Structure 1
């Protein structure tokens, strides 16, 4: 079986057998089996995190990371490799990440005599579920003696074969908030005797939306999204309680802290005006992902050799979050997107969609880029 067929077959296996964050036991077993078949010696750094080294001819080490977890999504695709696990799906493309890294490993092993250093393969659990898997992988030695790290993410809204390069900021701080409003319930016919949690929550949502539009510099990226609202018992009962959750995305720590304080100030104002009580929890999630420009330019040069200059993109930073950011806080490295969309073949759903899928012709390209980038970093260092 040639490498391209191997990548596709392996990807389809992972797609059929997805596992949720921190529960990727069969996935990790399969990764270890494949690595052993290549003559490598994999080891677990966490329950489901796997690393393996390819020894070359030098002291420098480049790590390549792939995440391995799936999402709690019910797949709606009609393909022969559809998820066999009800309610779980590789809706973000981590199945392709594992397959492309395994494919790159085969290519790098074939080039072992020409490697001017070492390669560490990192298969990381739980990217999708904060606090994520990266922190424990790092704590347990995944980056020990590693000099550089790279990562590649398939992206469903970029055309297959395109590569998106980011020199500095790429992905945002990804935070979460949970707010509970406590009013006083009552009969729907007598609002004067109650404190309406639904009414006050509606005000709160409107006021949250004005923080970005009226209090943050328009040149500073920021997003506040209310994702869930739960309140009420019946059509003729004034709700005593309401809960809303949401996310805040920023690139600047100053903007992040301002938003945290302004949400608190708004809640204090509503308390003063309406007499409510409230609970407010703000959870800082993955930090902003900031690439090392030198490494990003090496990725660009290497990718250009494979896909051509016309297929290199430089989009604006993405407001999504990624725990690859933790690796970049420790050592130089960079992350980039590989396009997977092909509208003519029906692959045009965004990541995290129940119909997400990618043009598999992009995967061999992705493996070649990973291999070329790793070798180029070692050659230049």
Structure 2
């Protein structure tokens, strides 16, 4: 299969950026992506693809290649976040309190343009491509799509997806083997003491003092109880207690996340969640407090398949050839529900760098000033197209001829 992918991507770059900016101006929260889904649906139908809906605002389209072969699934996410944008762009969000602060507007537009290029060359493809535009990634809709049959009819053989990363410099690409994104567990911990007057603290049981011990001592799991080779991050994002300076409250509510690059529940012996509760329980006993602990499991770690990753890295070598760009290692403790797809079939989630301090696109994800260097969009499109062609028209590493 021979055609100049770079030249075609360059020709479509203006359309690519226009799509991204339009989505950026009109962000929609998870399962409310009605405008976005409608635009995606019409675009794919105009390419001659049949589409279907799943989970309300999810859009799926099948591209039948000119020759028989495997089925590759390509996934992009479409939802935005409940954040008020603080950039000065002319295309900033027009929806109060909602913005694309994670790059999903870029993911959606990149896969739309990739679909156009692949449709133009479908006769040369040895197999089929299932394009999946997934809603509500921020709240884990991938599992619902799997349960609704997204991996079937036809059965998917492999899956790839991408994320634009401001933590990576513009022009870099990463597609490591093994764990690349973390398992995410959300906790709500309520510490219960005995309220009273701050003038006579001996008559009370101060849950704030106990909370200080809990917050500090739980960090020992990372630094003293697990090997430094096992990545764990325990972070408190919310603490609420009391309403007045001279009143000891009766309880403190703490919320946060526990993230790890392994399965927290499958550890031999005392797993990391059990360690968490042991420390909480003993500190509460020492402070004469009681507690309630609730866990909400979000998603497992994203673990890249070595065979598919080898193909994606091979594609990246073509995409960045002859430039100052490079293929780099990258692992993050951010969670991603792409793992639900790659648990079903071999898959790889690759990263495209869009960080650029000069363009002020180095703010972290989910920040009100989050933005991307739009030069990375074309790299993302080319990665999609090249990876798909190499998977369908080539062979996976170690796969028999």
TM-score category of the 2 structures, normalised to the smaller one: over 0.9
Give distance in 1, aligned partners of 2:355 and 2:213: 40
> What is the CA distance between 1:361 and its match in structure 2?
1.8
Task: Name the residue aligned to 1:326.
Answer: 340
Give distance in 1, aligned partners of 2:94 and 2:284: 49
> What is the CA distance between 1:316 and its match in structure 2?
4.4
Native 8 Å contact 1:69 1:94 kept in 2:
yes
Moved more, 344-353 or 156-165: 344-353
TM-score, normalised relative to structure 2: 0.91
Residue by residue over 1:173-217, the C-alpha shift from the partner in whole angstroms, topping out at 9 and shown as x without a partner, is 111111001111001101111111111111111111122111111
Native 8 Å contact 1:178 1:246 kept in 2:
yes
Native 8 Å contact 1:224 1:249 kept in 2:
yes
5+ long unaligned stretches in structure 2: 1-9, 396-401
Secondary structure of 2:358 counterpart? helix
Native 8 Å contact 1:20 1:126 kept in 2:
yes
> What is the CA distance between 1:25 and its match in structure 2?
1.6
Give distance in 2, aligned partners of 1:222 and 1:263: 12
Give distance in 1, aligned partners of 2:313 and 2:188: 40
Equivalent of 1:85 in 67, 70, 95: 95
Structure 2 CA distance for partners of 1:267 and 1:158, relative to 1, 3 Å: closer
Task: Name the residue aligned to 2:253.
Answer: 243
Moved more, 326-335 or 359-368: 359-368
Give distance in 1, aligned partners of 2:307 and 2:14: 33
Structure 2 CA distance for partners of 1:221 and 1:255, relative to 1, 3 Å: farther
Native 8 Å contact 1:228 1:246 kept in 2:
yes
> What is the CA distance between 1:347 and its match in structure 2?
2.1
TM-score, normalised relative to structure 1: 0.96
Task: Name the residue aligned to 1:59.
Answer: 69
Native 8 Å contact 1:3 1:106 kept in 2:
no
Moved more, 292-301 or 27-36: 27-36
Task: Name the residue aligned to 2:104.
Answer: 94
Secondary structure of 1:340 counterpart? strand
> What is the CA distance between 1:315 and its match in structure 2?
2.1
Equivalent of 1:295 in 286, 289, 308: 308
Native 8 Å contact 1:162 1:313 kept in 2:
yes
- Asked whether 1:284 is paired with 2:293, we answer no
> What is the CA distance between 1:345 and its match in structure 2?
2.5
Structure 2 CA distance for partners of 1:112 and 1:249, relative to 1, 3 Å: same
What is the aligned-residue RMSD (CA, Å)? 1.6
Residue by residue over 1:226-282, the C-alpha shift from the partner in whole angstroms, topping out at 9 and shown as x without a partner, is 111100120000111100011111123355962211222123213322322211012
> What is the CA distance between 1:338 and its match in structure 2?
0.4
Secondary structure of 1:128 counterpart? helix
Native 8 Å contact 1:45 1:141 kept in 2:
no
- Asked whether 1:21 is paired with 2:30, we answer yes
Native 8 Å contact 1:260 1:282 kept in 2:
no
Equivalent of 2:21 in 4, 12, 23: 12
